[in-house]
């Protein structure tokens, strides 16, 4: 019999379960649904040509309300060149996309078509290609983009999954790890068409986005224990493979060099800014940590159609992937952003800085007594 009491119990039960159901349903509804079986006439879609920028910066883009799919055009030019990778002048015979380590970050929206022109100038010595983890199709486009010096190729793929994904060179056999640890990786961020969402399906927006690409380098040493300096890529090959196969990196760095993102090159923000930090590692696991801050939201695996984790202290980025963390700075100051293997951060180089300006909040932290003698 339906009484007022049972009705109320039912109502109470409904209330008790509502938040969970609400969260799941909202998130599910909020996910962008891209029908990859729908055939678009690519020739009639709007085309956008993007000028890529050097990391940690990211080209301008809209975060949400992306409208119909677009064809987004990018160009990457491969540069083989010697780079200085620490403050002692140690050099790497590097291989790069667009001259930087990591290569530039690309941003598109789920369902867009990515159209990449890959150029291998004749001044280079080696064949290269690009494998997009975001792409669907054999070798991630690697077989279709293998270019000798003096050649270029163009690949189009549909970005059917939302998230941050690594791209890297993969020209075959032992060339693959050598090219990757010599600098040939980068990241593409495929945003959901309606932007990022929290676990309840509510919109999340960022004021700034930075791209941190982490690399492990394996610089051979001479008999005296000094890092060797090579005149050409091929001259470095044999020693480099032997050092790589020892699996002990000589350097673990953000953005190609010890100190690339510290001091004058620190990333900047203001108190109240919400910052998205995208972090890739194409070869090896890492564990980013913002000292004195957190990830308000983190997509450790980088894939935006999963609800983000909240309030993380350290997040884990699997080798061969890119993840991201969203944080609103609440206090001014100098923040170190590190790989929290602290040996790798402090002794080998995997550290960056954020300089944050604004008003200090004593409620969050206050020095009650300055250091003074105990006696
Ligand atoms: Cu390559």
pLDDT, tens digit, 9 for 90 and up, residues 158-197: 999 999 999 999 999 999 999 999 999 999 999 999 999 9
| Ranges in the chain annotated CATH 2.60.40.420 | 42-193, 209-357
Q: How far is the centre of ligand 1, averaged over its atoms, from the C-alpha of 74 (Å)?
A: 18
CA distance 290 to 363: 20
Average pLDDT on 24-30 reads 56
**Alpha carbon of 184 to ligand 1 centroid (Å):** 6
Closest CA to 280 of 132, 147, 145: 132
Predicted TM-score of the model (pTM)? 0.91
pLDDT for res 21: 45
In this prediction, residue 332 carries a pLDDT of: 98
Please tell me which residue in 80, 86, 115, 131 is annotated as part of the active site: 131
Q: Has 184 been annotated as catalytic?
A: yes
Q: Which of 109, 179, 294, 353 is catalytic?
A: 179
Burial of 10 (0-12, 13-18, 19+ CB in 10 A): exposed
Expressed in angstroms and rounded, the spacing between residue 169 Cα and the centre of ligand 1 is: 5
Q: For residue 375, name the pLDDT band (cuts at 50, 70, 90).
A: confident
Q: 129-167: per-residue pLDDT in tens?
A: 999 999 999 899 999 999 999 999 999 999 999 999 999
Instruction: Output the average pLDDT for the chain.
Output: 92
Surrounding ion ligand 1 within 5 Å at CB are 128, 169, 179, 184
Q: Which residues pair with 268 in a beta bridge?
A: 355
CATH architecture of 42-193: Sandwich (2.60)
**Active-site residue flag, 234:** no
Element (H, E) at 118: strand 113-120
CA dist 75 and 217 (Å) reads 26
Q: What is the three-class DSSP state of 239?
A: helix
Catalytic: 296? no
CATH class assigned to 209-357 = mainly beta
pLDDT value, residue 159? 97
pLDDT at 3 over 80: no
- Residue 251: count of CB within 10 angstroms of its CB: 22
Choosing from 251, 279, 289, 353, the catalytic residue is: 289
């Amino acid at each position: 019999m339906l009484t007022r009491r049972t009705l109320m119990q039912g109502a109470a039960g409904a209330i008790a379960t509502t938040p969970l159901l609400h969260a799941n349903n909202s998130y599910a509804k909020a996910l962008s649904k891209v029908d990859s079986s729908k055939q678009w006439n690519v020739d009639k879609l709007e085309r956008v040509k993007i000028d890529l920028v050097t990391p940690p910066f990211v080209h301008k883009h809209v975060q949400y309300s992306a409208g119909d799919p677009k064809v987004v055009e990018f160009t990457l030019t491969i540069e083989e060149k010697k780079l200085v990778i620490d403050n002692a002048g140690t050099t790497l015979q590097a291989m790069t996309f667009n001259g930087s380590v990591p290569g530039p970050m690309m941003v598109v929206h789920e369902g867009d078509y990515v159209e990449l022109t890959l150029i291998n100038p004749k001044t280079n010595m080696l064949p290269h290609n690009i494998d997009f983890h975001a792409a669907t199709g054999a070798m991630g486009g690697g077989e279709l983009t293998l270019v000798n010096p003096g050649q270029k190729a163009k690949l189009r793929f549909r970005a059917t999954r939302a998230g941050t994904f690594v791209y890297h060179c993969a020209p075959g056999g032992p060339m693959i790890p050598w090219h990757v640890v010599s600098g040939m990786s980068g990241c593409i961020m495929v945003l959901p068409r309606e932007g990022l969402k929290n676990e309840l399906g509510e919109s999340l927006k960022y004021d700034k986005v930075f791209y941190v690409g982490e690399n492990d380098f394996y610089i051979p040493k001479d008999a005296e224990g000094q890092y060797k300096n090579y005149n050409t890529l091929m001259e470095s090959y044999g020693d480099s493979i032997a050092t790589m196969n020892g699996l002990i990196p000589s350097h673990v760095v953000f953005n190609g060099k010890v100190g690339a993102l510290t001091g004058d090159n620190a990333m900047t923000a203001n108190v109240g800014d919400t910052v998205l930090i995208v972090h890739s590692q194409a070869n090896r696991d890492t564990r980013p940590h913002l000292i004195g801050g957190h990830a308000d939201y983190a997509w450790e695996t980088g894939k935006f159609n999963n609800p983000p984790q909240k309030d993380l202290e350290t997040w884990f980025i699997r080798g061969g992937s890119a993840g991201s963390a969203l944080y609103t700075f609440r206090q001014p100051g100098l923040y170190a952003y590190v790989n929290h293997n602290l040996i790798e951060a402090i002794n080998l180089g995997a550290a960056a800085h954020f300089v944050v300006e604004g008003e200090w909040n004593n409620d969050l932290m206050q020095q009650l007594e300055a250091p003074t003698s105990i006696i």
